[in-house]
Amino acid sequence: MLSAAAAGIAAWTLDAGARLAVSAPARRHGAQSAPASILDLPSAEAWCTARGVQPAHLSTVYRHLFRREGALHAAPLHAAGLPKEAAAGLCEAFVGVTSRVVETVHSVGGLKLVVELASGRRVETVLILHDHVSSGKQRCTVCVSSQVGCSRGCTFCATGTMTRAAQLSSAEILEQVWHARQALKEAGSAVAIRNVVFMGMGEPLDNLDEEVRQALIPSAAPFAELDEALDYHIATLHMHMSNVMSY
């Protein structure tokens, strides 16, 4: 059943990929934008260390953000658990979710989210619903994008005909999983996310550093609350990449 749903990804990508306008030279689009996403854990830890704040205090901040409905979308953020001055500074330096879902397309076996980044560029995230082989329980695999566009030029892929406009950060990749979980909640579904596959827009191995960071972030101590809040019980064994095999 998963293979059939995966085929649906290709159909969706070919259908919608050509609609996602890409212009401007390849660059990490968030490099010049501020504030950064609070989901960028390494940056948040570095910020705390530079100001004499123990990074361990971030656990309390994330517990508040992940547990309170809408907290990640608040402007400004509320950094609970930090000294007043540090909390104010953190909320000036970081924001919550930097992207937003601008379109949702439903289909048999899942749905597709068109996600608009802070830069205004758009990527796609696909939720694949399938039955677990042994238990028969329904699970969700999230297919995430790793780049805006792609420079590989594969003729069978609509994204491949677009130039690469930007690399996604680990936070932006993680936000796609967050949006997927929110979409399931809004649909009244209790289905758990169990797999993440890098089969969306972009060539995964061209943005490997950020993908490795995304894979490791949820297991970091300050993000302990994220695991339960997202139903993000995903071991690295259940994260997969699809590449063009040109290395």
Domain boundaries, the chain: 2-31+98-241, 36-95
Is the pLDDT at 229 greater than 60? The verdict is no
- What is the pTM for the complete model shown? 0.73
60-69: pLDDT as tens digits: 888 888 777 6
Is the pLDDT at 245 greater than 80? The verdict is no
Options 3.10.20.740, 3.20.20.70, 2.120.10.30, 2.40.110.10; CATH of 2-31+98-241: 3.20.20.70
pLDDT at res. 20: 42
**Range from 63-77, 86-100, 103-117, 133-147 carrying the lowest mean pLDDT:** 63-77
Task: Give alpha helix (H) positions in the chain.
Answer: 2-16, 41-50, 58-67, 84-93, 170-186, 208-216, 224-229
Mean per-residue pLDDT, 172-180: 89
pLDDT at res. 4: 42
